Chain A
Amino acid sequence: MEALGLLFHGFAVLLTWKTLVLMMVGLVLGIFVGVLPGLGGPNGVAILLPLTFTMDPTSAIVMLSCIYWGALFGGAITSILFNIPGEAWSVATTFDGYPMAQQGRAAEALTAAFTSSFIGSLVAVLLITFLAPMISSFALKFGPPEFFAVYLLTFCSFVGLGREAKHKTVISMSLGLLLAGIGMDTVSGNLRMTFGSAELLRGINFLVAVIGLFGISEILLTMEERLALRGHAASISLRVVLSVWKDLPKYWVTLLRSSFIGCWLGITPGGAIAASFMGYNLAKRFSKDPESFGKGRIEGVFAPETAAHASGTAALLPMLALGIPGSGTAAILLGGLMVWGLNPGPLLFVEHKDFVWGLIASMYLGNVVGLVLVLTTVPIFASILRVPFAAVAPMIVVSCAIGAYAIQNAMFDIWLMLGFGVVGYVFKKIGIPLAPFTLALVLGNRAEDAFRLSMIGSGGDLKVFWSNGLVGSITTLALVLLFWPVIDGLLGRVGLTQRTRATSR
């Protein structure tokens, strides 16, 4: 139990008034940047990083990581209330969170989101506390074929388990993959599909696309249909919070499954996004009533949020232990560490015990304080829905535009965002799902690079995806999920499963 001793040492480092005040400040700032779409955690942390140069490393990282937790909590707010995901991994939260808000259950959805975020992070922090050394060596097992297998698994689970028509999912995904190819190709070093434009060099930024696809298109739809936000005045009280909590034990399987997926994927870079989608899809697959997903089911909020936060938290581990940031925010924290003269790497845990365990202790405290803070402010956020649409809509559009601009300080991105708004509107009208499109846009590049690096390494031999137990089982699982409807149908015909699956699609 050396870990416990070190952890208590960490709490001792942390429990000073100064640190606690910094923690609160960080959390409030974080929630604030999380609520503004597009501004998000990475930008918030980047803007505030220089403020911390004069602090000692422990205080500084506590404050910055609290901004991170705050932003994670805050990201769920806009997803649920306005269908605008603040961060990539909040996309899956909108599937059921937004319908819930429309049905007047915004407070319930927000409570569910915050609670599951808390549970997800807690599981991941426990994991970090006790298994840190083992996990970092697990992350080292991931070479290009393993990375590709994980991405393949995410894509396949979408096609195989999605509720939409398969061909529409594939169309949407292919379009996303196509757009992901724009810009510099790392593997060949050549430019693709930029048509000589300097603006397209950067490629299509995922967040710009998401803000347009979800946020702007939602405004367009609302304008066409009713000129009012569909959310009803949510009555919020301690009673709502308690009733959500009372139901928690019912969903223990979902929570546990999502935490597990989150922790597993969090330690591989880019995992949080994959984790939230996978958590959602698996919850739906194993549900007795998959039809009700996407129509405002509370489990549809629990599943992705738990997974996203478990993985968002677990992503800090490879950053500290290996120097690989698992997310954009983690990458900026990494830059911060270096300024304070701390080099992330295997020796950080040995040479800077105070710092590492102070940070881990701050994860516990920051999460508890953050949960209390967001829950007490739920009424304020949910009341935004009561403001007339005519007043809220321009504000949303402006904050979307600021968000899109702020990501890369590029005016072009605002036009791009508006363009994606129209695309999103058309997609919704003709029933093409947006989620596979966004997923392909964010993971397409990485999946492609991982595949091509595997091919260079193996000399073009596809057997590399079954070259060891780890990659082999992930690849096989991916293929099983891809063909699941077929397999399931066959099994059903042979009579091995009694349950009829006809209703599930």
Chain B
Amino acid sequence: MRISVKAFGAATALLLGTPAFAGWEPTKPVEIVVAAGAGGASDQMARMMQAAIQKNNLMKQPMVVSLKGGASGAEALMYMKSSEGDPNKVLIAYSLIYMLPLSAKIPFNWRELTPVSVIALDQFVLWDNSAGPKTVKEFVAAAKAASSPFKMGGTGSKREDHVLTVFLEQKTGAKFSYLPYKSGGEAATQLVGNHTEANVNNPSENLEVWRAGQVRPLCVFDKERISYTSKVTDTQSWADIPTCKEEGVDVQYLMLRATFLPGKVTAEQQAFYVELFHKVTQTAEYKDYMEKQALKPIFLTGKDMVQFLEEDDATNKALMTEAGFVAK
């Protein structure tokens, strides 16, 4: 089955590739492939783009969101890999493109896809229940003193959240039991319900429960504070959260949010999407979304993007190896 799909894809690429007019445009609906479940951060981003593109008439063809979160996102990666030459599919990628091939030995390499653009960097924040310790120092002390290890909720196993938990253990000396949930939303409600003591969710995943005063951000895993200064809760803005380094726990991690096309598409097709996503980053919807979700703005394409990906890949690989998550 896969052979025929590939053959078909190659044929399409040939057909579409040969005329090579500048100003290629999609001729059928474009599929945004989300490597996560409904309602997660990737899905939200895909819906934002869909709305931004549709409302601002950035593309003639409609855009459809297709959720391929099966097997912790591996489904989406394999889907993109097998769609070689098809310029109507865009993957919203995040760090799983480095981590899944390492931890689960998925036969996938992001270099086989066509990079389009890096569109944002996502932060990680250490959160606890608002009834829990108020600062990182108190939190670490409480975790060390606890009779059974503190429970740390997160999304998936051997992924960003799990890696951060391992490094948190290394830097503080406290022990955590890591509970892998299916989504960040679940990790958030489990923290509110006091079934876990903490989580390391992205800002977007905990935003609503923070605004409702049910959880407390302790520190952000970046070298500098988040830049957004408008108030999110009655008293605090994203910029008010100290960095973990300031609090004496030097753990840093940022997660990329990038778009890819399948492999073997033409330069014109790649150029169309580079331009499209560049326009998306100029829309009010995008800017609003970035601030609301406390994402770090960035826009990289071409050589800069590949260089960034290579460095990011190396960093992730080192972290995964050190945490002992690379499958033998």
Contact = CB atoms under 8 A, between A and B. Distances in A.
B176 to A, nearest CB: 11
Interface string B79-120: 000100000000000000000000111110000000000000
Contacts of B65: 46, 335
Given A331-B38, A344-B208, A191 B104 contact: yes
A189 B103 CA distance: 7
A205 B163 CA distance: 30
B78 A323 contact: no
Nearest to A337: B39
Interface string A41-60: 00000100010011000000
A50 B55 CA distance: 11
A1 interface: no
A494 interface: no
A234 interface: no
Contact of A459 (B47, B50, B55, B148): B148
A202 B106 CA distance: 13
A347 interface: yes
- Most-contacted residue by chain B among A139, A189, A190 (CB, 10 A): A189
A140 B193 CA distance: 5
Secondary structure of the B contact surface, majority rule:
mixed
Interface in A455-493: 456-457, 459
Contacts of A324: 185-186, 189
Interface string A269-308: 0000000000000000000000000000000000000000
B142 interface: no
Nearest to A47: B64
Given A323-B39, A324-B189, A338-B39, A347 B156 contact: no
B210 to A, nearest CB: 9
A141 B70 contact: no
A358 interface: no
A457 B177 contact: yes
Contacts of B37: 331
Given A183-B70, A201-B106, 8 more contacts: A184-B70, A186-B180, A198-B82, A328-B38, A339-B48, A346-B212, A453-B181, A457-B195
Interface of B: 1-2, 37-39, 43-44, 47-48, 50-51, 54-55, 62-66, 68, 70-72, 74-75, 78, 82, 103-107, 148, 151, 156-159, 162, 177-182, 185-186, 188-190, 192-193, 195, 207-209, 211-212, 214, 325, 327
27 contacts: A46-B65, A53-B50, A139-B189, A140-B189, A140-B193, A185-B157, A186-B157, A186-B181, A189-B72, A189-B158, A189-B180, A190-B103, A190-B327, A201-B75, A201-B106, A202-B71, A324-B189, A331-B38, A336-B47, A338-B39, A338-B44, A345-B212, A347-B211, A408-B68, A412-B1, A456-B177, A457-B195
Nearest 6 A/B pairs, CB to CB: A345-B208, A143-B195, A189-B157, A184-B71, A202-B70, A331-B38
